[in-house]
Structure 1
Amino acid sequence: MLDSKFLNAMNISLDLALEAREIIRGETGQEIPGVRVDKDTYDHATVTTVHIEDQNAQTIMGKPVGKYITIEAPVIKENNQQAHREVAEILAEQLKNLINLPMELNVLVIGLGNWNATPDALGPKVVDQCLVTRHLYNYAPQELQGGMRPVSALAPGVLGTTGIETAEIVRGVVEKTRPSLIIAIDSLAARSVDRIATTIQVADTGINPGSGIGNKRAGINQETMGVRVIAIGVPTVTHAAIIAQDAIEKYINSTGGQPGDASSAIKNVLEPFGSNLTVTPKEIDILIEDTAQIIAGAINMAMHPGISPEDYGYYLH
């Protein structure tokens, strides 16, 4: 069974708090002290909220103290627009509960990732479909309806294409526009291939761009930005090392052998890639489009409850 020893040996961190809890509970056989879990079930989704409540739990989980909401919805991978709308509504409700701001306050939406790399393009694609209204308050107030909030949005790119740390760009925008909240969207890495494009995590702790695939970037959180940050992420890749480990264990178990530590052998195989190879499905372009539409729809519903989705097209550029 995949365990923390293997993850540490391969230098793999888990983006999903739900997966981190599953592995630690599997090793200890009991709930983690300082961690509380709530679960709700809907027609097309299961919502699990992991509360990390103290510093001890933070150390064990490797996640900051805060709330991590995971929406598991395999229906996202199906061509079912009505089900996608229901998942968006569930996400919108979770966002509304976390936002908790007067309607006149400004919100900044940040689409993290590289628009030139499909598995990493989720953030920019969400921003493309977000209903931005901050400029209308200054230049076209007559176009506004009741129940709309000032929203601005930015896809800042990645260090490799801009030469600038993403956190530096975001911090500069925050200093100029002074939002009361940041919503950051990013692609994640999952432990399980089943969670690719079927799981949405919402966290009130901010985000570290690229952390799940070994890129240690400056964090986008309340400490670095001076404003609350809600992070929305969807797994779009998984680690080749994890797939290899799972395959080895299944083979050994099927032949009656005993599973062992395969980390050294896997490292050798992945050495040409610095032991850091990630894998994504061939249909990732379609999955990114669908998840981006769901997340953008949820953000629009949460930000602008006074207008219907049918009216979004009037405001989208």
Structure 2
Amino acid sequence: MQNFNWQRTDLIDESEEVVVHQTKEQKEKLEQSSGIQIEDRNAGRVKITDVLVDAEGEKQIGKKEGQYITLSVPTLTLEDRDGFAQLEQELLVNFKKMHDALSWQEDDKILIVGLGNRTITPDAIGPYLIDHLHSLDVIDEKFVMYAPGVTGQTGYETGEFVAAIAKRLQPKLIIVVDALATRASNRLCKTIQLTDTGIHPGSGVGNQRQEISYEMLGIPVTAIGIPTVVDAPVLIADAVETMLRSIAARVAERHKPSSKLSLSSWQPDIQQELDMSLVQPIFGEWATWSREERQQLFEETLAGAHTQLMVTPKEADYWVDRYAKLVASMLMNWASDL
């Protein structure tokens, strides 16, 4: 069978080693055996996952050694001003902490690179960010801003452009902003990942280019990424999982008063622990399989051209613009304290 990576993701907390170690005991075991430290916390509505990977951990999960901070507001909507405000505040707090060790001189420069293709909406967060920074009334003199486009447009490696500018400018810090891929549809445009490990442009959609990192440039590189796309089969798997759990929850509740007292359309809690054998008479044995086994089934049956499709929300243009403004505002607030 051809091995299709239909669960591509750029998010550290979606990597297999992190996902399967959710309990306190499992996390401690992972830290002892794999060199990966995981801390989950909440700040208001923002869920924060802080993952620290050392050299041994890099070998285990294939993610570079360094710090990864993932911030997510699961209930975020485009009209949710409070959610965006809390997300921006926590991004600022964690961004400051990540750079506390840097000492700044008056003439130090910061290179901000907005990666992506502005003609493809879900990939345009980087260029849109640069546009928003240029449109501000006051642009901090420390900032040098650059949107290099993508290799398909220019014919040159984006990393080479960045390396050339960094060599000439010698900035104190390089900040790279890009769109990411996720393998969970409910995280699309509701998550921000912050990391000090740099970035591989295009890696989430299978177009891995030259790395932009401290190892390549000799300058600290901080990457800010927002997941805007997901593989199409992931949506199918998520829909099937939701359907099975919803039906199982309804079957489990059918004889309870709670299912009869609702004044409107009753919706069961599908997040609770459920007995999936309840739906076996309807869907057969595969309904009782583990989530991983069903995912393997989709991998085998959907190994075709459509596995290469990437999906984005229909309001992607609004999400991208909103996040570009959020990151621009955060960077201005951060720079004001330097």
Select which of 199, 208, 212 maps to 2:204: 212
Quote how far apart the aligned CAs of 1:236 are.
0.1
Partner residue in 2 for 1:124:
127
Structure 1's unaligned 5+ residue stretches are 134-142, 307-317
Partner residue in 2 for 1:313:
none
Normalising by structure 2, report the TM-score.
Answer: 0.76
Partner residue in 1 for 2:312:
280
Spell out the pairing of 1:286-305 with structure 2 (5 A cutoff).
286-305=318-337
Quote how far apart the aligned CAs of 1:247 are.
4.0
Partner residue in 2 for 1:196:
188
Distance of 1:23 and 1:75 partners within structure 2: 20
Residue 189 of structure 2: SS of its match in structure 1? coil
Q: Which has the higher contact order (CA 8 A, sep 6+)?
A: 1
2:99 matches 1:107: no
Question: Does the Cα contact within 8 Å between 1:196 and 1:236 map onto a contact in 2?
Answer: yes
Question: Does the Cα contact within 8 Å between 1:69 and 1:202 map onto a contact in 2?
Answer: yes
Q: Percent identity, aligned pairs only?
A: 31
Quote how far apart the aligned CAs of 1:282 are.
0.5
Normalising by structure 1, report the TM-score.
Answer: 0.81
| Amino acid corresponding to residue 232 of structure 2 in structure 1 | A
1:114-170 CA distance string (max 9 Å, x none): 00000000111112222699xxxxxxxxx99xxx66111111000111111100111
| Amino acid corresponding to residue 30 of structure 1 in structure 2 | Q
Distance of 1:103 and 1:70 partners within structure 2: 30
Structure 2's unaligned 5+ residue stretches are 245-275
Distance of 2:94 and 2:168 partners within structure 1: 28
Residue 337 of structure 2: SS of its match in structure 1? coil
Quote how far apart the aligned CAs of 1:71 are.
0.6
- In structure 2, do the counterparts of structure 1 residues 25 and 66 end up closer, same or farther at CA, with 3 Å as the change threshold? same
Spell out the pairing of 1:50-199 with structure 2 (5 A cutoff).
50-53=51-54, 55-74=55-74, 76-99=76-99, 100-104=102-106, 105-130=108-133, 150-199=142-191
Quote how far apart the aligned CAs of 1:75 are.
5.2
- In structure 2, do the counterparts of structure 1 residues 167 and 160 end up closer, same or farther at CA, with 3 Å as the change threshold? same
Question: Does the Cα contact within 8 Å between 2:78 and 2:319 map onto a contact in 1?
Answer: no
- In structure 2, do the counterparts of structure 1 residues 121 and 34 end up closer, same or farther at CA, with 3 Å as the change threshold? same
Residue 93 of structure 2: SS of its match in structure 1? helix
- In structure 2, do the counterparts of structure 1 residues 222 and 293 end up closer, same or farther at CA, with 3 Å as the change threshold? same
- In structure 2, do the counterparts of structure 1 residues 131 and 161 end up closer, same or farther at CA, with 3 Å as the change threshold? closer
Residue 129 of structure 1: SS of its match in structure 2? helix
| Amino acid corresponding to residue 57 of structure 2 in structure 1 | A
- In structure 2, do the counterparts of structure 1 residues 175 and 38 end up closer, same or farther at CA, with 3 Å as the change threshold? same
Quote how far apart the aligned CAs of 1:74 are.
3.4
Distance of 1:79 and 1:13 partners within structure 2: 29
2:285 matches 1:257: yes
- In structure 2, do the counterparts of structure 1 residues 22 and 36 end up closer, same or farther at CA, with 3 Å as the change threshold? closer
Question: Does the Cα contact within 8 Å between 2:48 and 2:71 map onto a contact in 1?
Answer: yes
Spell out the pairing of 1:236-255 with structure 2 (5 A cutoff).
236-248=228-240, 254=279, 255=283
Give the aligned length.
282
| Amino acid corresponding to residue 160 of structure 1 in structure 2 | G
Distance of 2:84 and 2:204 partners within structure 1: 26
1:250-274 CA distance string (max 9 Å, x none): 6676524224432121113xx2x5x
Of the structure 1 ranges 235-244 and 163-172, higher mean CA displacement relative to structure 2 is found in: 235-244
Quote how far apart the aligned CAs of 1:242 are.
2.0
Quote how far apart the aligned CAs of 1:225 are.
1.6
Partner residue in 2 for 1:19:
14
Quote how far apart the aligned CAs of 1:248 are.
4.9
Structure exhibiting the larger radius of gyration computed from Cα positions = 2
Quote how far apart the aligned CAs of 1:192 are.
0.6
Question: Does the Cα contact within 8 Å between 1:130 and 1:299 map onto a contact in 2?
Answer: no
Distance of 1:74 and 1:128 partners within structure 2: 28
Quote how far apart the aligned CAs of 1:295 are.
1.2
> RMSD of the TM alignment (CA)?
2.6
Select which of 20, 23, 30 maps to 2:26: 30
